[in-house]
Amino acid sequence: MTESNDAPTSGPRPVRAPVGTALTCDNWQTEAAYRMLQNNLDPDVAEAPDQLVVYGGTGKAARDWPSFDALLRTLTTLKADETMLVQSGRPVGVMQTHEWAPRVLLANSNLVGDWATWPEFRRLEQLGLMMYGQMTAGSWIYIGTQGILQGTYETFAAVAEKRFGGTLAGTLTLTAGCGGMGGAQPLAVTMNGGACLIIDVDPVRLRRRVETRYLDVVAADLDEAVKLAVDARTAKKALSVGVVGNAAVLVPKLLRMGVPIDIVTDQTSAHDPLAYLPDGIDLPDAPDYAARKPEEFTDRSRQAMAKHVEAMVGFMDAGAEVFDYGNSIRGEAKLGGYDRAFDFPGFVPAYIRPLFCEGKGPFRWAALSGDPSDIHKTDKAILDLFPENESLARWIKLAGERVAFQGLPARICWLGYGERDKAGERFNEMVADGTLKAPLVIGRDHLDCGSVASPYRETESMLDGSDAIADWPLLNAMVNVASGASWVSIHHGGGVGMGRSIHAGQVTVADGTALAAQKIQRVLTNDPGMGVIRHVDAGYERAEQVAAETGVRVPMREG
């Protein structure tokens, strides 16, 4: 649809979520969407708010500024039995549903299989017909770098457990990419006691992580960076060091230099070859070059990734623990002509799948009051609810001390089947009895146990070979709609890029009502329940145990 002429013109401006208890919308369910959409674009949260870009390359919260305005406007008109439909970041309809139904339904970046490519997506994006939703950008539940921090913390903890006796003290981790997601890496490594050297082409990104206390220091040059990092390793000190440079150049160089590196990974924006900077191009020239000659840029970018990944394999051959951190760099390096790209595993089969079998995943919540004390109270509630879970307690404590809030105060922790509903119901009680100043939203990343099909990441190397089956995320979305979530989204291409993933998200508002309690109980049981049945179906024993212990029904085992 072309813009109607009478729509008010609008454009880039600083956006922040309203806070406090006064409602702009009809009720808290829609008010929550109204606030979280704006929170996603808060200058303290989003990577490039003027372009409506939240994180992850070009992951956006709304298609364009007129769509953003229309989203807010429509939310303020929405009644408690109406539902707004959002197609790739633009509101396209309002329909009468009922009070158990979600208030917003979103579908972002979805393309029919044979057309699920970056060139077709970009053609449609340029026509103004689509946007890239990434995972939590287009589904309005990005909460800043903390969102990924817990997952990254869990992953490095699993690495420590597997190879280094439970701690990273005395190890050096090499990685690159210090953006919205990747910026969590240095803090996650130091929280696990290790030293970390992180490369980014963009000095602004590195400095920003220092400001938000995710990164300890930016070195003047590579030599200084290596010295600081190796000294910390030797002294078994937790320290993170940033260095400006191109990973396609510096990673091979560090390999040649023989720097004692124990763990190698990467979170540059490799999922999109136009977002990864090839060597030999200056950062300021990249956007223009990529726009003018996307194919040439793509070729050069894939060749650079081939060099980058070849060096990662070199570290692996030398004995380091090496893994792909979910940005599709192996796939792109392979397209760039490097044959051994898939020699090292993705992080999910290596470290995360055992958690998925228990329905565990990135449970998160944000305080609509805007008051940090609401989150501190929920932190305490979590500790009270799960006293036996030590690593959870350690995380909540460290997070309270070291995580700076961005935008609305929020918290994340990984909880499993039988835990999320408990936490959600407790939170709703705390809203109801006035312990908290205002309602909470409860959501999660699309990277979850039962909500994604992504053969290079979350569903890589499934036991039964079912990596590419996308029925599961679609069932996940539908069952969340059917369970009373406040908004539900289905996206394509998050994390690993076009053609490589389909995934779903849900957010449920704890507004303290009895109805919300019922919805929360269902959504936060069924949503992780999808993870359990998905892994039972694939033949994972741990998932079978969990299903048996918790009474999750598996129809093929009955009768």
Ligand X SMILES: NC(=O)c1ccc[n+]([C@@H]2O[C@H](COP(=O)([O-])OP(=O)(O)OC[C@H]3O[C@@H](n4cnc5c(N)ncnc54)[C@H](O)[C@@H]3O)[C@@H](O)[C@H]2O)c1
**Active-site amino acid positions:** 413
Name residues contacting a second copy, limited to 448-477 (CB under 8 A).
Answer: 453-455, 464-472, 474-475, 477
As measured in angstroms, the least distance from the Cβ of 372 to ligand X is 24
Q: Which is nearer to a second copy, 369 or 526 (CB)?
A: 526
Q: Pick from 200, 310, 374, 537 the residue near ligand X by CB under 6 A.
A: 200
Of the pair 460, 511, the CB lying nearest ligand X is at 460
CB of 170 to a second copy, least distance (A): 40
- Applying CB under 8 A, does 507 fall inside the site for a second copy? no
Q: Which of 191, 209, 160, 214 is nearest to 395 (CA)?
A: 191
Among 89, 91, 182, 346, binds ligand X (CB under 6 A): 182
Amino acid symbol at 513: T
Query: Do 541 and 548 contact (CB within 8 A), yes or no?
Result: no
Residue 237 identity: K
Binding residues for ligand X restricted to 276-295, rule: CB under 6 A: 276-277
**95 bridge partner residues:** 83
385 binding partner (options ligand X, a second copy, none; Cβ < 5 to 8 Å by kind): none
105 binds a second copy (CB under 8 A): yes
Angle at Cα 173 formed by Cα 169 and Cα 179, nearest 5°? 125
* 154/544 Cα distance (integer angstroms): 23
Angle at 279 between CA 276 and CA 285, to 5 degrees: 70
Q: Select from 501, 516, 383, 375 the least CA-distant residue to 445.
A: 501
* 322: contact with ligand X by CB under 6 A: no
Contact map string, positions 25 to 64, toward ligand X, x by CB under 6 A? ----------------------x-------xxx-------
Kindly state the helix (H) or strand (E) to which residue 361 belongs, with its residue range.
strand 361-367
DSSP assignment of 38-61 equals HHHT-TTT-SBGGGTEEETTTEES
- The answer to whether the Cα torsion of 297, 303, 304, 306 is positive or negative is positive
Amino acid identity at 361: G
> Scanning residues 61 to 90, which ones bind a second copy (CB under 8 A)?
66-67, 69-71, 73-74, 83-85, 87-88, 90
What sign does the dihedral 352-444-188-191 (CA atoms) show? negative
Nearer of residues 143 and 178 to ligand X, judged by Cβ: 178
Say how far apart CA 337 and CA 325 lie, in whole Å: 20
- For residue 490, what are the contacts with CB-CB under 8 A and spacing of at least 6? 106, 107, 108, 110, 473, 474, 477, 502, 503, 504
109 is in an annotated binding site: no
| Contact flag: residue 101 with a second copy (CB under 8 A) | yes
Q: Which is nearer to ligand X, 326 or 512 (CB)?
A: 326
Of 267, 486, 501, 525, the residue at the interface with ligand X (CB under 6 A) is: 267
Is 205 annotated in some ligand binding site?
Answer: yes
Residue from 33, 84, 168, 181 that binds ligand X (CB under 6 A)? 181
CB of 159 to ligand X, least distance (A): 13
Give the one residue of 228, 248, 490, 530 binding ligand X; rule: CB under 6 A: 248
Which of a second copy, ligand X, none has residue 177 at its interface (CB below 5 to 8 Å by kind)? ligand X
Distance CA 192, CA 395 (A): 10
Which residues contact ligand X by CB under 6 A?
47, 55-57, 148, 151, 176-182, 199-202, 205, 246-248, 267-271, 275-277, 325-327, 447, 495
| Binding-site annotation, residues for NAD(+) | 56-57, 134, 180-182, 200, 205, 246-247, 267-271, 276-277, 325, 495
